[in-house]
Amino acid sequence: MSEEIYENSDGFRGKKINEIETMDFNDQIYNNERPIMPCKKDGVGDQHSVFCQWWKRYSGAVAVCLGLLCVLLLAGIIGLLLYQRNQLTSYNTLTKDGDQLQTSGNNLRDQLQTSNNTLTKERDQRQTSNSTLTKERDQLQTSYNTLTKERDQLQTRYNTLTKERDQLQKEIERLKQSLVEKVCPQEWKKLDSSCYYVSTEYKSWEESRQDCRNRGADLVVINSEEKQTLVNWLCGVYDYVWIGLTDSVTEGTWKWVDDTPLTTKYWDSGEPNGGVADNCVYFYSWTSDKGEWWDYYCSYKYRWICEK
């Protein structure tokens, strides 16, 4: 290796010591234009000397910086790899979850499809049932209309028969009235289908009944409101008459002279109250009332009414 002093185009002078080292340094620093010159101890003030001084001062710092930069770069690469690995793990997890969701979605879809098919079948069955019920309803409506028409016809017929029955009843009553008028003795009053005799004398209950028997009748029996009103009219205003009601056979058991039990009652307030002594009943008439009953001594003398 030979030493050679040279001067470049910029006026820089140096000694070429090693061609290979000079060319390597030249390639890195001067981009193949300037050769590297060795630092001179006595080259104070020239450019090469300045560069040498700068290089000696900051080459360590540059190396440290490059080392730190490499460490940071390596750390970044490691971090990036870890991040990518985590992302890949997350992706795999999400993929697995997605597959599970897909499977669940497919199962749910199948279930919904099955439910929909079932509901559709039930709907069709209900539709068929509804059509059948509608048809039956129409038939029932037709039957109802027919029955209603028949009912109206029967009602009309019933009204006609009722009217005819009432007419026949009136005719029967008229015939009975005519018959009673023919059979009622003189001084008797014909009312409805019976004959009534109102005495003008006063006798005890037993004597009054015996008089009625002698006339082919008996003391009057009052078993309805119409009969009560009728007797009240026959008596006249404010009068007392014996009627055919007594408990002389069994105390407290009131019976009519025809042996029928007492059902319809028209006692005055507090009556009967005579105990064992008052065993016969007289009728007290009022002007605008139906009259009232009183129990009293059978031996007392009143007027009486006979009925046959």
pLDDT (tens digit, 9 = 90+) per residue, 93-127? Answer: 888 888 888 888 888 888 989 988 999 999 999 88
Domains of the chain, CATH where assigned = 4-77 (no CATH), 189-307 (3.10.100.10)
Q: How much is the pLDDT for 209? A: 97
**Which residues lie below 8 Å from residue 247, measured CB to CB, with a gap of 6+?**
253, 254, 255, 272, 279, 295
Confidence of residue 32 (pLDDT cuts 50, 70, 90): very low
Cα end-to-end distance, the chain, whole Å: 185
Q: Are 295 and 274 in contact (CB under 8 A)?
A: yes
Residue, of 170 and 281, whose pLDDT is higher: 281
Question: Whole-angstrom Cα distance, residue 39 to residue 53?
Answer: 8
Q: How much is the pLDDT for 58? A: 75
Q: Are 304 and 241 in contact (CB under 8 A)?
A: yes
Calculate the alpha carbon distances from 37 to 8, 10, 15 in Å. 11, 14, 7
Q: Which amino acid is at 53?
A: Q
Residue, of 132 and 37, whose pLDDT is higher: 132
Confidence of residue 287 (pLDDT cuts 50, 70, 90): low
Q: How much is the pLDDT for 269? A: 87
Mean pLDDT of 9-15: 53
Confidence of residue 24 (pLDDT cuts 50, 70, 90): very low
What does residue 107 show for φ and ψ, rounded to 5 degrees? Answer: -65, -45
Residue, of 241 and 40, whose pLDDT is higher: 241
Strands 240-246 and 292-297: unpaired
Q: How much is the pLDDT for 47? A: 59
pLDDT tens-place string over residues 62-73 = 788 888 889 999
Mean pLDDT of 175-187: 70
Q: How much is the pLDDT for 38? A: 54
Q: Are 295 and 187 in contact (CB under 8 A)?
A: no
pLDDT tens-place string over residues 197-222 = 999 999 999 999 999 999 999 999 99
pLDDT tens-place string over residues 119-178 = 999 999 988 988 999 999 999 999 999 999 999 999 999 999 999 999 888 888 777 666
